[in-house]
Amino acid sequence: MTPIVQMRQLIKLLQQHNHAYYALDTPLISDAEYDDLFHRLKSLESDYPDLIQHDSPTRRVGGEVLAQFDSVVHDVPMLSLGNIFNESELQDFDRRVRERLPGQEIRYELELKLDGLAVSLRYEEGVLVQAVTRGDGESGENITQNARTIRNLPLLLEGRSDQTDAANSESSTEATKKFSEVPELLEVRGEVLMPRSGFERLNREAEARGEKTFVNPRNAAAGSLRQLDPQLTAARPLAFYAYAVAQSRPQPTIQSQYESLEWLGRLGFELAEQRTVVDSVEAIQQHYLAIQAIRATLPYDIDGMVIKINSLRQQQQLGFMSREPRWAVAYKFPAQAALTQLEGVDWQVGRTGTLTPVARLVPVFVGGVTVSNVTLHNIGEIRRLDIRLGDTVSVFRAGDVIPKIEKVWPEFRPANAASLSLPTVCPVCQSPVVMPEGEAMARCSGGLFCPAQRIEAIRHFVARKALDIEGLGDKWVEALQGLGLLNTVADIFHLAEHRDQLIGLEKLGEKSVQNLLAAIENSKSTTLTRLIFGLGIRGVGETTARLLAEHFQTLEAVQAATLDQLVKVPEVGQITAEWIYDFFQAPHNIEVLEKLKAAGVHWPLPAARAHQPLTGESWVLTGTLAQFSREQAGMMLQSLGARVSGSVSAKTKAVVAGEKAGSKLDKAQSLGIRILSEAEFIDLMESHGVVIADFLDGFSE
């Protein structure tokens, strides 16, 4: 693809997204993705300056003016800021400033970069006469009537003085005069935004009315400000924050950016938090990191920090480039989204055989980390995205959120891009891959035979709630499997035959080996419930394992059960029944079970399920209990014959609600289900003869 073709492609894309962002208030991509496209174009133009197109977005600001509002030419152009993204680019900005101001002391004023809509306000004799959007930088939309509805935006300026603050640098008389005078003409630049609390309330109300909700606060603010009916704008929780003086007549005797904001504050304008003045790159970086750390706690959205030369005289000396000032720059937070390419897809196999596609990407820095692998979840997600090898994709990551592919860019798709399909056999053991109708997840049918499933299966088998083999932790499971000593769970009971080899393992001395082998020997005497749970059958947790053991009484009966027989077990639905049935039909699994019995693993017959006070009742536990854990409370309920479920339904008999109970409690209340406090639960247990101390097992808060 030639440079000129690449330029035209990028220009077309940027123009489309400019229109969506500025004119329609419905952005199709994130700011970070837009920045990526913009910088790609700038890079091309830097390499091929003779090919720069006359309609390049790098030569102008923003988007077009809407026809539904009057167009107003800005007396002073509303230019955009350049962006920097890391400390190296910050140092470059500082170096350029100092090269243009040799020998001068440089101080920087730092502000939050608010994520809203830039607006210019014009005051004559202290009265608001005009509000105009940025538009294309040269002219914008007249939104005066809507701006008047913003509650914190002053309609009339009334000078205020603060002699205590002002006296820090000059006499109180001069300070009072400087800060209290309202100029004949004042043009103030600032940001209209929607605070998070207002945004959440607006969306809740819209959802309750069955109306469409807004994507984010910035989108909500822009849409609100462009309502044709000012009454609709008035109903929206908008706010205005001033960040600059564009012009004033007469010119106030103010020397710095920080001082000009103080002046605006005294005239009645709202100012954003966290403003400060520093004199070094190190101090800028330190403040940037501090702001990033508290970003989520602020009452409004920000996407970075603005760095300005504090001296107004030095700002004039530095001047402007074609579309941005040389004396200011936006230091943006690590991109929450970035563009990269898909190099390939690997299929990983989990403990239960689930096949998960993992995208291999050209490494990209996003959300503060370098991302090279991203899960695609399942074949359905691949089809939904229509993702193909070689595609350019948008990767999103915010904070601690797991990276994900949000968008595929077919505009950049190579001609030979290959489609992705589900493997027919397991990439590890070559067993057939199955995907039952109506399910989203494909699985390896190899069961306990599949090496990829073995290590996870063994970890699950030795866990406390299964065979409870103390000392056989994850690192030893991995090490022993690496030596070929653990290929199935049955091999655990033959480790005594390799005692000398075990003692030779790093950090596993003779005493440790002795303790491990003793724990293994003790675990041979177990219960049918623990064994069934330990097998790791999909959909079979502790409760289902216990119900299966109580219902069928023997392992042989569970193995021989038909689907019709399985669905008669409480808590076992049709899908879970199919998973249980398929597990016990797999030859590899039958072989492992025979080896377990041959190794001496045994269990007594479960006691027949006698009728108890709560037999057949489904109970739910939610929230934090003070005197015992939810697990222990569940054991108490089970001792009385109840089933403990993880979700509330119409069949739920009662809910025990501790502190900070959430959605389960809400649902129970809406369904009119009986709700017990912890104290009421204790009274109930004791009334049925339950000795609570027998279930505590060292519980502490």
How far, in Å, CA of 107 to CA of 111, rounded? 13
Catalytic residue at 651? no
Q: Cα-atom radius of gyration of the chain, to the nearest Å?
A: 34
Classified as helix, coil or strand, 522 is helix
The residues that bridge with 355 in the sheet, in sequence order, are 349
Q: Dihedral (C-alpha) 447, 452, 454, 459: value to the nearest 10 degrees?
A: -120
DSSP line for 238-306: -EEEEEEEEEEESPPS--BHHHHHHHHHHHT----S--EEESSHHHHHHHHHHHHHHGGGSSS-EEEEE
Q: Identify the helix (H) or strand (E) that includes residue 404.
A: strand 404-409
* Partners of residue 139 on adjacent β-strands: 73
- 25 φ, ψ (degrees, to nearest 5): 60, 30
| Number of DSSP helices (H) and strands (E) in the chain, helices first | 27, 22
Q: How many CB atoms lie within 10 A of CB 589?
A: 20
Q: Give the C-alpha separation, 186 to 429, whole Å.
A: 75
555's tokens: 């392992």
- Phi then psi dihedrals of residue 607, to 5 deg: -70, 135
Helix, strand, or coil (residue 472): coil
Burial class (CB within 10 angstroms; exposed 0-12, middle 13-18, buried 19+) of 319: exposed
404 pairs with which residues across the strands? 396
CA torsion through residues 368, 373, 378, 383, sign: positive
| 35 in Cβ contact with 332 (< 8 Å) | yes
Strands 302-309 and 108-114: antiparallel
Distances (CA, A) of 369 to 157, 338, 550: 47, 11, 50
CA angle, 362 then 366 then 372, to 5°: 30
Cα(321)–Cα(41) distance, integer angstroms: 17
What is the C-alpha separation between 130 and 187, in angstroms, rounded? 9
Interior angle at CA 309, CA 57 and CA 46, nearest 5: 30
Region of residue 660 (left: phi > 0; alpha: psi -120 to 50; beta: else): left
Strand partners, 313: none
CA 61 to chain centre: 31
* 8 A C-beta contact, residue 11 and residue 45: no
Q: Among 114, 120, 113, 116, which Cα is nearest to 137's? A: 120
Catalytic pick among 113, 308, 407, 664: 113
- Secondary structure of the chain: what % helix, strand, coil (to 5)? 40, 20, 40
How many whole angstroms separate alpha carbon 475 and alpha carbon 547? 33
Rounded Cα gap, residues 695 and 698, in angstroms: 9
Produce one character per residue of 43-66: b if its CB has 16 or more CB atoms within 10 Å, e if not.
Answer: ebbeeeeeeeeeebbbeebbbebb
The residues assigned a catalytic role are: 113
